[in-house]
Structure 1
Amino acid sequence: MDASKLHELTDWLIDGGRSAASPSRFMAECCERMVAAGLPLWRVGVFVRTLHPDIYGRNFIWKPGAEVEVGTVDYNILESPGFHTSPLIIVFQQGLEVRARTDDPRSERFPIIDELRAEGVTDYVALPLPFIGGTVNGSSWTTKQPGGFTDEQLAALRSLVKPLARVVEIITLTRTAASLLDTYVGNRAGERILGGQIRRGHTETMNAAIWLSDLRGFTSLSDRVPAETVVDVLNHYFDCQVAAIRNHGGEVLKYMGDGLLAVFPIDEYVGDEQQVCSRVLEAAHESRASVAELQCPIGDAVERFRFGVALHVGRILYGNIGGGNRLDFTCIGPAVNLAARLEKIASQLGRTVVASEGFAGICRGGWSDLGEFPVAGFSKAARVYGLVDEKSAA
């Protein structure tokens, strides 16, 4: 063991491992420094739980001479037999160290030891990574050194995981913040908020295609079925749209009951207005098909659903709006107001997809002129277009 290199490594960790530009690079550099200090590491894993609606945790796996493997696990892992027979479950639940030498019969209680023995591993140790808030995450360390880790090497590992836990916690908190912002306000808005756009009135103008939709008959549905069923219906209904919106470059900004507001930015990075509007229309076709296939057993009947979406394009004001210290990152402007009015017209006409004259003029083909309609709050009537392949259900 090289005491001076261990000391340098500890200082590097205390300083935040700032020479590493990413979590993967941090993992690689940390393990390489450990090996250089005399720790005979073979496979190292860091396992961190995260605050995410779909992802239970993330793992980083390092091996000498290989790229760090980064993976995620969903909540199904909690039902997995392999998870409940892993040494890490003891670390997560009890915060205890677990050591399993591959030549020790007592280690056979962990099925993973057979796999490690086949790789030539001689020793395995799982160490807790306790966070300041009380959460305990885990790390695993293996070696192929004959006889396994020495007492001196284990002592070095135990001392190093303390500063390591602090850096991992900071990285995790930063990622959690980004993940929560992505979940609740959207990716682009989340990036802006993390970048410092957190003051009321901090806005910018943006040219965008606007998507505003709602579920037909939602008020009646809410009145005649249990609230829990309504929530389940809404979740499935939004699933029909969100994947299509995101896959075609859009960002969901807001859910308003059964309503959904999304924007598709138009700029030099994501394409010109014709490209963007074409992708928006593709998303509308996909969402229409998905909603048409959606059905939900309610009582003795099977409920089918319809929705309407209005498409428009224009300048919007995008940023922080609110009162006091309670802000909302959203978009406003005449273009958004017109999209909202068009959605009401779609409902009146029994149409699923309608577009403004501006949107239909950019994304040409496949539209029929439905006429001009007075629009509340606007001095001029708006010409509205519907898809040729769609008949009115009014």
Structure 2
Amino acid sequence: MNVQPIHVPEEPLSQWMLNEAWRLPDAQSLTKALVERLLSLGVPLYRVRITLRLLHPQITGFSFTWVKGDDEITVYNPPHEMLHSETYRDSPYWAIFEEGAGAIRRRLSGPDAQLDYPLLSELADEGASDYVALPIEFMDGSIHAITLAADKGPGFSTEHLAMIYELLPAMGRVLEIYALRCTSQILLETYLGKRTGSQVLQGRIKRGDGEQIEAIIWFCDLRGSTQMADQMGLEAFIEKLNQFFEIMAQSVLEQDGEVLRYIGDAMLAIFPIGKHGCEAVPAKVAANALMAARCAISRMQSEPECKGMEFGIGLHFGTVMYGNIGSPSRLEFTAIGAAANEAARIQDLTKSLGVPLLASHQFVEKHGGQGEDGWRFNGSFPLRGVSGERRVYTPHQQQCDSNN
């Protein structure tokens, strides 16, 4: 058997990984650099894929793929549903992740070809000649993977494979750092919100850390939830509640708002103005918040599963404390202050006034219109726990023109 010539590196790949590659900003950059390094050493690559499994509410992780002829690394985020598919069960990943296979090696051409996975037939049709799938173990015991397919020719030599095997422990340590960083960001954004999670990652982690900011405050509430839970049972009610929150949160996030808290069957969100928002113009931020509310109303009224569910949305403008509150061992990064309380009380009025959406005088002023300019004055009302009365308004157009 002819052994392919191989360029002996000045330093082992593991040393390159620990001395240089760890400085790269992310796993996508690492994949590209690794491919370039292997090619420079004479490894006949056709395709390389690094797969990281992560804690994520919507996807199982990330796959970074290089294919010969492509300059860029493609990123794929497989959804959780993929884990129940035949495609996954009939792949080398099932053997590595679910069955604990130590490594998989398959010839894709010649008399020794073994195409026992559909993926291997696809690679063989594309001209690949050899395939290797290797597990990468992290310190917590979780298994990730790298797969390599060889270009046309005799495939990977013994020296090529030895070089790659020697790399795995060092690559695992570097990839684990990327994975931990990514997981931290994902969990913070999922449980705190994108802006709020960023604040925590930037070091605002002590009780009292925060600042006063101007913002549009959104407060929404699902009405009759206790009765709904009694009538339909807890599991069915939780499903309905999640549908309500999904529509409300999606509408807020689409307009660059930040969901801060779920409080029972209510939700608090803000649309920051200034450096914490993408818009410094209050009228534009207010317009975004109103569009979010209109779209939420449209979606609630058009979604078959949500028809008949009653709810209210209150919009207000004011200054809030945006930061950490709580005990030293249990903190919450949120927005508090009189303005947040008033938004909740304005929402309370939607039930007695029979409308799904109410806005304060302060919000209407920031939005820039009232009366014939888009708002109907509903009157002045006392708010529970707030001194004096507050003027509230209803937009003439309550819904989006379409359920975009």
Counterpart of 1:332 in structure 2 is 336
> What is the identity, as a one-letter code, of the residue corresponding to 2:108?
T
SS of residue matched to 2:115:
helix
Residue deviations 1:60-100 (CA, integer Å, cap 9, x gap): 00234510111101012122222111112111121420011
| TM-superposed deviation, 1:377 | 3.0
Counterpart of 2:81 in structure 1 is 76
Matched, 1:346 2:350: yes
Match for residue 287 of structure 2 among 278, 297, 302: 278
CA distance in 2, matches of 1:368, 1:12: 68
**Structure 1 unaligned residues grouped into runs of 5+:** 297-301
Counterpart of 1:371 in structure 2 is 379
Match for residue 298 of structure 2 among 289, 311, 314: 289
Counterpart of 1:152 in structure 2 is 159
Match for residue 96 of structure 2 among 79, 87, 91: 91
Counterpart of 1:309 in structure 2 is 313
- The aligned runs of 1:1-394 (5 Å cut-off) are 1-7=6-12, 9-15=13-19, 17-64=21-68, 66-93=71-98, 94-103=100-109, 107-267=114-274, 270-271=278-279, 272-296=281-305, 304-363=308-367, 364=369, 365-389=373-397
| TM-superposed deviation, 1:366 | 2.2
SS of residue matched to 1:55:
coil
Q: Is the CA contact (8 Å cut-off) linking 1:372 and 1:382 kept in structure 2?
A: yes
Q: Is the CA contact (8 Å cut-off) linking 2:300 and 2:307 kept in structure 1?
A: no
Q: Is the CA contact (8 Å cut-off) linking 1:95 and 1:136 kept in structure 2?
A: no
> What is the identity, as a one-letter code, of the residue corresponding to 2:361?
E
CA distance in 1, matches of 2:21, 2:48: 17
CA distance in 2, matches of 1:172, 1:198: 21
CA distance in 1, matches of 2:248, 2:21: 42
Residue deviations 1:229-281 (CA, integer Å, cap 9, x gap): 11100111112111111110101101011100001111165221111111111
Counterpart of 1:299 in structure 2 is none
> What is the identity, as a one-letter code, of the residue corresponding to 1:90?
A
Q: Is the CA contact (8 Å cut-off) linking 1:6 and 1:34 kept in structure 2?
A: no
CA distance in 1, matches of 2:254, 2:388: 35
> What is the identity, as a one-letter code, of the residue corresponding to 1:32?
E
Residue deviations 1:124-176 (CA, integer Å, cap 9, x gap): 00000111111111110111152111111111111112211111111011101
Q: Is the CA contact (8 Å cut-off) linking 1:185 and 1:253 kept in structure 2?
A: yes
Normalised TM-score (structure 2):
0.91
Q: Is the CA contact (8 Å cut-off) linking 2:381 and 2:390 kept in structure 1?
A: yes
> What is the identity, as a one-letter code, of the residue corresponding to 2:298?
A
Q: Is the CA contact (8 Å cut-off) linking 1:202 and 1:319 kept in structure 2?
A: yes
> What is the identity, as a one-letter code, of the residue corresponding to 1:368?
R
| TM-superposed deviation, 1:382 | 0.6
Percent identical: 34
**Structure 2 unaligned residues grouped into runs of 5+:** 1-5, 399-404
SS of residue matched to 1:109:
coil
CA distance in 2, matches of 1:196, 1:383: 40
| TM-superposed deviation, 1:389 | 4.7
| TM-superposed deviation, 1:106 | 5.9
| TM-superposed deviation, 1:45 | 0.2
SS of residue matched to 1:355:
strand
Q: Label 1:373 to 1:16 Cα distance change in 2 as closer, same or farther (>3 A).
A: farther
Deviates more, 1:180-189 or 1:377-386: 377-386
Q: Label 1:16 to 1:196 Cα distance change in 2 as closer, same or farther (>3 A).
A: farther
Alignment length (residue pairs): 385
Q: Label 1:203 to 1:83 Cα distance change in 2 as closer, same or farther (>3 A).
A: same
CA distance in 2, matches of 1:210, 1:313: 6
SS of residue matched to 2:331:
strand
Normalised TM-score (structure 1):
0.93
| TM-superposed deviation, 1:18 | 3.6
Residue deviations 1:315-351 (CA, integer Å, cap 9, x gap): 1111110012100011101111111111112222222
Deviates more, 1:32-41 or 1:356-365: 32-41
SS of residue matched to 2:60:
strand
